[in-house]
Amino acid sequence: MMKVITRWVSYVNNERGTQALQFLGLFPLVLLSMLIIWQVGLISYSVVVAEAAARDGARAASAHDEGWAEIARNSAYGLDVEVTGGPGEETATVQVKAKAPIISLPWIESMKFEFTADAVMPMEKKRE
């Protein structure tokens, strides 16, 4: 009976394999953290690109360029964008509605991040 108790105590006090269990417990959290950081980076990149596209389109519209919408779309290469606005009498206003790319995870299928960036530029005098 004493041998059984001492053997049982030695098994309970044995710490072999605890690091592997800790790694298996924390690895999904580390992986999820990296995916979240990557997603925040994608959204930030998308916002910067959409703002630059709106600015480029407004600059082209203020210079009376007929292809201002195409310039804005080309500036936002790689993003799904919708360009509206255009030249006015005193200012050129361009809005770029964009959808940020989303990391596809099995349990998050319907996540969407849409935003609108806009830019306003004063109209230049039209050359004769």
Tokens of 94: 């361009």
Please say whether the beta carbons of 47 and 99 come within 8 A. no
Domain spans in the chain, listed from the N-terminal domain onward: 25-122
CB atoms within 10 A of CB 88: 12
Against a cut of 0.75, is the pTM above it?
A: yes
HSE-CB at 78 with a 13 A cutoff on CA atoms is: 10
Which residues in the chain come in under a pLDDT of 70? 1, 107-109, 128
The per-residue pLDDT for 10 is: 73
The per-residue pLDDT for 85 is: 93
Write down the H helix ranges in the chain.
2-13, 18-62, 68-75
Q: What is the DSSP letter of 90?
A: S
